[in-house]
Amino acid sequence: MQLIGSIPSPFARRVRMWAIENNCDLALVNLDIFSEQDRPTMASKNPARKIPILIDGDLTLSDSSTILRYLIAKTGKTTLSWPQEHLLNIINACNGSLVEIALSRRSGFDTNDDKLFFSLQNERIAQTLSYLNSHLNDDEFKGCECLNISLYCLLDWICFRELTDFSQHSALVSFYNDYGKRQAAKETDPRL
């Protein structure tokens, strides 16, 4: 199987970490998605022009959550429960808003500007981080590898890109420090 992605992408990293932890053979095609050279490769596989993209024989899949669900099914692992799906969507919402903020900054906007678009993203980021801080020690969160990996990739990307400050959320900080010690986290570190 091939994963079309990039090393910094937190969404691609989830899939890469899950594959490492589950001995799943996955070759990364590392693209610079905003470069003239690499963009056509992404566009030819996904008209939505987003990574990650999984290629398994004739099958092409997009969206990290869908890809993870596919790999979980393919390897016979336990699927996420509905409450776990809800938590994954909260992580996704936070990560999605942070992508909007990162792209806005890259486009030269002041993301602290008093504009509806930025206020909505900043509000969502603050609320979801606070919610995750209160719930990551719940059994249904702790027992789900997919949620743990997705949260770690989100938090490490926040630090890597200096997107926001979660230091007031002590449960998130302690989770981040512990999970970062894992081999899969080290092997996929975007700083390397």
3 state DSSP class of 154: helix
**Quick one: tokens of 160?**
């890597």
- Candidate ranges 59-67, 105-113, 126-134, 160-168; the one touching ligand GSH (CB under 6 A): 59-67
**Segment contacting ligand GSH by CB under 6 A, of 45-53, 71-79, 118-126, 176-184:** 45-53
Counting contacts by CB under 6 A, is residue 63 touching ligand GSH? yes
Q: Is 33 in the site for ligand GSH (CB under 6 A)?
A: yes
Among 62-70, 133-141, 164-172, 181-189, which window interacts with ligand GSH (CB under 6 A)? 62-70
DSSP 85-146: HHHHHHHHHHHHHHHHHHHHHHTT--TTSS-HHHHHHHHHHHHHHHHHHHHTTSHHHHT-HH
Q: Does 99 bind ligand GSH (CB under 6 A)?
A: yes
CB of 46 to ligand GSH, least distance (A): 9
97 near ligand GSH, judged by CB under 6 A: no
- The radius of gyration computed from the CA coordinates of the chain, to the nearest angstrom, equals 16
156 binds ligand GSH per the rule CB under 6 A = no
- Buried b / exposed e along 17-35 (16+ C-beta atoms within 10 A): bbbbeeeeebebbebebee
3-class secondary-structure state, position 188: coil
Cβ–Cβ under 8 Å, residues 104 and 125: no
Residue of the chain from 1, 3, 4, 9 that contacts ligand GSH (CB under 6 A): 9
Contact status: 11 vs ligand GSH (CB under 6 A): yes
- Please, what is the minimum distance in Å from the beta carbon of residue 158 to ligand GSH? 13
Q: Which of 64, 111, 121, 148 binds ligand GSH (CB under 6 A)?
A: 64
- Given the rule CB under 6 A, which of 57-65, 119-127, 131-139, 163-171 is the region that contacts ligand GSH? 57-65
The percent of the chain in helix, strand and coil, each rounded to the nearest 5, is: 60, 10, 35
Number of C-alpha atoms within 13 angstroms, CB side, residue 140?
Answer: 13
Q: Which residues bind ligand GSH (CB under 6 A)?
A: 9-11, 33, 49-52, 63-65, 92, 99
